[in-house]
Structure 1
Amino acid sequence: MASKEELNFNAPHPPKENSIEAFNLLLPTLKSEILKSRHHWDKHEPRMWSRVAGVSDNDLTSFTIENDLVEVRSAATSYGTIILGKIRVVNDNQGEGFVHVRIHDPPNRGNEDVRFHSIFTNEIRPDPEAPPTDFRAIQTREHPLEFFNE
């Protein structure tokens, strides 16, 4: 598996047709994984998804790729392409909120074998040696879409 230092991601940009197609192939999986993550963290650390605590599962997963995938980045590896996506899942009195998703497209088969990899869950640590002081699965528009290995 590649590390952040080994990857050369392109600049963040609006999704093009190939990214939209890849994320649409995974749409049911993305929605399922968002709910799985939310329910898991709610049992162990409710602050992770607290931004959408009052949002129903149905509303949280009502996004569409065409309207709500707002930014992507990708990097080639020897085993395919890693694609990061910023998906809007909420727009409320606090503004827009996004999940960052990582998917993988192995080489040589087009989009038919695209796979979900993970959702970025941010454990905020002012000191790397200290325990987290905050938890955040919902990111702001300004939070950069960067490689994560979760």
Structure 2
Amino acid sequence: MATKETADMGEPHAPKEASIKAFGEIEHELKKQLVHLRHDHDKHEPQCFASARDLSDHELSSFSADDFVLVRVATTAYGLILFGKLRIPALASNGDSNTPAYVHFRAFSEGPDQAALFHSFHTEDKEDADGNKAFRSLFTADEPLVWFDA
């Protein structure tokens, strides 16, 4: 598997035609897996989707290609890894850039002529001074899109 050290990761930029095409290939799977991720985390780490707790599954997954706002592409020996920042419209509607209203996803393609495959969403876990872990899967507009493995 490629690592941050072995891949050539490009700078963040607005999605271009190839990234938008890849997004279209995985959009249905993104929606399905985001709902699944929330249901899974709600059992053990409800704070992971705290800002979306009042959203229905449909509202949570109501994004489209227009909400795909940022991309970074990492080139590896075996293909391309696409890291994307995706706005959740039902959360971003208040316009506050400090509201956790974005998910970061990872996809993979063996090349420009191959279909993209969804890999994962970024879930961050941080340990506080007391040793308690906090989990989250929703990020703000200002948080950078960085390498993540799962």
TM-score by length of 1: 0.89
- Detail structure 1 runs of 4+ shifted over 3 Å in the superposition: none
Contact 1:49 1:138 in 2 (8 A): yes
Q: 2 CA distance for matches of 1:42 and 1:77?
A: 34
Matched, 1:8 2:8: yes
- 1:62-81 alignment to 2 at 5 Å? 62-65=62-65, 67-81=66-80
Q: Give the equivalent residue in structure 2 for 1:95.
A: 96
In structure 2, C-alpha distance between the alignment counterparts of 1:146 and 1:58, rounded to whole Å? 27
SS at match of 2:92: strand
- Give, in whole Å, the separation in 1 of the partners of 2:114 and 2:96: 33
Q: Is the 8 A contact 1:86 1:145 kept in 2?
A: yes
Counterpart residue identity of residue 118, structure 2: F
Aligned to 1:120: 122
Aligned counterpart, 2:38: 38
Give 5+ residue unaligned stretches, structure 2. none
- Distance between the aligned counterparts of 2:122 and 2:67, measured in 1? 17
In the alignment, structure 1 segments of 5+ residues that lack a partner are none
RMSD over equivalenced CA pairs, Å: 1.6
Q: Aligned equivalents of 1:17 and 1:24: distance in 2?
A: 11
Q: How many percent identity over aligned positions?
A: 37
Deviation of the 1:38 alpha carbon: 0.2
Residue 85 (structure 1) aligned with residue 84 (structure 2): yes
Matching residue's letter, 2:122: F
- 1:126, CA displacement in angstroms? 4.8
Aligned pair count reads: 144
Conserved 8 A contact 1:104-1:115? yes
TM-score of the two chains, using structure 2 as the length reference: 0.89
Q: Is the 8 A contact 1:73 1:83 kept in 2?
A: yes
